[in-house]
Structure 1
Amino acid sequence: MNSYTNIFIRTVTILIVAVFFYACQDNYDDIKRMQRATLAPAGIAENINLKHTDSGKLRAHLISAKMLDFSNKEFAYNSFPEGLVVYLYENGNKTTVKADQAVVYNKTQLIDLRGNVQVFTHDGKKLLADQLYYDQKTEWLFTNQPYKYEAEDGGYNIGKGGFDANADFTVFSSFDNDGEQYIKK
């Protein structure tokens, strides 16, 4: 082979390698763009003021600055990154739920409330927690985080290790706690 042939082969080889790496870089950039798109929510709602009625009666009222809809995910969920306030109505009574953040998992019907969680019931009960889960199917509340519960009669329970309870707090199981309970004769 002469020197022109060697130079030609080297030049072609360098061009093929350069094109290969350039094509890979384009694909890599496309893959990064596609990954960002799949991480994005399907929708964003702002300044939410949603009222849910049933049989002409107001049942729930949700207020939030922002909701991210991730229904485009295999495990679909809605996120409330800027917090929410929910008013629940039953038999003319109102319960208020507040949290700094919330995630509602659509398939499991589990709600994850986080940061400064506050629950105020119509009959004077109050629950404060760092995190609180609510299972909509079983109407059950639970957490493994610290909490404080105040009953309508002034009794209280401060827990370090969590609790679980039904929605109206008539069944309540607590772990590693201190408090005072008043028993009626």
Structure 2
Amino acid sequence: MRLNSLHSIYNIVIGISMTMFFSCNGNMKEVQKIGISDNEPIGIAEKINLKYTDSGRVTANLLSDKMLNFTNRDFPYYEYPEGIILHLYDEKNTKSTVVSDYAIIYDQTNLVDLQGNVVITTGDNRVLKTEQLFYDQKKQWIFTNNPVSFKSEKDIINGIGFDSNKDFTNAEVLEVNGIISVQD
């Protein structure tokens, strides 16, 4: 009788162990997520000085005090909570600069969202100021629906909304509410 009850306990333990063993599906992504909160970045970088090159020529230089990597999310992105300074260089090595207090780059849509004291200064001294600006990396298009101030060669144009290609060759303030002529 005692052997029979030990045999039953042994079978129960084996049954529970086998159930537990086969219930694990070996999902590596789930194992990697252990210890990482869904609200936490998978990486943090500080004091970034990233240089982009094309054919040995520096085309961009991104500076930021902090970058948070949220590419572990269903809609992956990189966040720059302390802002960015981005220097862009054209074929003639003319520098344009983009500055903002905050930035976020969405991987899937290739959209860059700049927020807070956004200022773009082009190599030919045109200046765009706004509180939020978007850049579509695929279409190479800059746009906003917020109030803007745009200093061109001859005027300072104030309005609501802005559209332009990345080179500012067809820059347009959408709803103009004031123009100030600039004299040399």
Taking structure 2 as the reference length, the TM-score comes to 0.75
Partner amino acid for 2:45?
A
Percentage of pairs with the same residue? 44
The residue that corresponds to 1:178 in the other structure is 177
The residue that corresponds to 2:154 in the other structure is 154
Runs of 4+ in 1 over 3 A off after TM superposition: 179-182
3-state DSSP class of the match of 2:37? Answer: helix
- Equivalenced residues, count: 148
Partner amino acid for 2:172?
S
- Alpha-carbon RMSD across the aligned residues, in angstroms, is 2.0
The residue that corresponds to 2:167 in the other structure is 168
The residue that corresponds to 2:50 in the other structure is 50
**Structure 2: how far apart are the matches of 1:171 and 1:85?**
24
Where does 1:9-48 land on structure 2 (aligned, <5 Å)? 37-48=37-48
**Structure 2: how far apart are the matches of 1:128 and 1:142?**
12
Deviation at 1:172, TM superposition (A): 3.0
Q: Where do 5+ consecutive residues of structure 1 fail to align?
A: 1-33
Contact 1:112/1:133 (CA < 8 Å) preserved in 2?
A: yes
* Cα offsets for 1:137-172 (capped at 9, x unmatched): 111111111110001x2312101x212111122223
Q: Which one has a larger percent helix, Structure 1 or Structure 2?
A: 1
3-state DSSP class of the match of 1:146? Answer: strand
Deviation at 1:53, TM superposition (A): 1.1
Where does 1:95-134 land on structure 2 (aligned, <5 Å)? 95-134=96-135
**Structure 2: how far apart are the matches of 1:179 and 1:156?**
8
* Cα offsets for 1:2-34 (capped at 9, x unmatched): xxxxxxxxxxxxxxxxxxxxxxxxxxxxxxxx8
Contact 2:128/2:149 (CA < 8 Å) preserved in 1?
A: yes
Contact 1:95/1:121 (CA < 8 Å) preserved in 2?
A: yes
The residue that corresponds to 1:6 in the other structure is none
Contact 2:158/2:179 (CA < 8 Å) preserved in 1?
A: no
Taking structure 1 as the reference length, the TM-score comes to 0.75
3-state DSSP class of the match of 2:157? Answer: strand
Partner amino acid for 1:111?
V
Contact 1:155/1:179 (CA < 8 Å) preserved in 2?
A: no
The residue that corresponds to 1:31 in the other structure is none
Q: Where do 5+ consecutive residues of structure 2 fail to align?
A: 1-33
The residue that corresponds to 2:72 in the other structure is 72
Deviation at 1:36, TM superposition (A): 7.2
